[in-house]
Amino acid sequence: MPYTRLSEKARAKYITPKQFMEQYQLSKSQAYKILAYPEMEEAKIKVGNKGIRINLDKAFEIMQQIF
């Protein structure tokens, strides 16, 4: 069975920005500043008109490279 991008998305753990803040003990402004980095676009998906969810594993990988 080939490994597809769809199966990768299905297994990914997506969290809310609030959970992201709690996970890394960030203030709201710090969290949104980090999420605004162009590198973090890969880790975010849009939900509805305004909402976003963050792929926790991908965000962790990107943050390791940035910081």
Strands 44-47 and 14-15: unpaired
pLDDT given for residue 11 in this prediction: 74
- Domain locations along the chain: 5-66
| 44 touches 35 (CB < 8 A) | yes
Give the span between the Cα atoms of 3 and 25, in whole angstroms. 34
Q: Which of 14, 16, 4 is nearest to 58 (CA)?
A: 14
**pLDDT mean values, one per 10 residues, the chain (67 residues):** 56 90 95 95 93 94 90
* CB distance 4 to 39 below 8 Å: no
Tell me, what's the pLDDT at 6?
58
Token digits of residue 4: 């597809």
